[in-house]
């Protein structure tokens, strides 16, 4: 299992477009992927789950991946956050 803390840096937060990009990226891996905000954990491959987190600018989130390609999955998702979901 690999866990990493990321912070939302795009001003609009986790709205539909970045959520869709996150889910698309996560779905490309066979590992189970979860996103945590505070004590709420959602499936990283579920757009509704990701959006319902209500994550806004500067919100820290924990990425959790468990499976054969867990390290690659977390790295790919972390890059989305680092690149501000290509919005800015």
Catalytic residues: 15
Would you state the structure tokens that stand for residue 59, as one six-digit string? 């919100």
Are 57 and 8 within 8 A, CB to CB? yes
């Amino acid at each position: 299992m690999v866990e990493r803390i990321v912070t939302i840096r795009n001003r609009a937060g986790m709205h539909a477009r970045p959520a869709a990009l996150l889910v698309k990226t996560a779905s490309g891996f066979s590992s189970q992927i979860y996103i945590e905000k505070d004590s709420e954990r959602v499936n990283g491959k579920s757009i509704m789950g990701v959006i319902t987190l209500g994550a806004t600018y500067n919100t820290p989130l924990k990425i959790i991946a468990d499976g054969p390609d867990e390290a690659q999955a977390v790295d790919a998702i972390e890059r989305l956050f680092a690149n501000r979901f290509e919005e800015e």
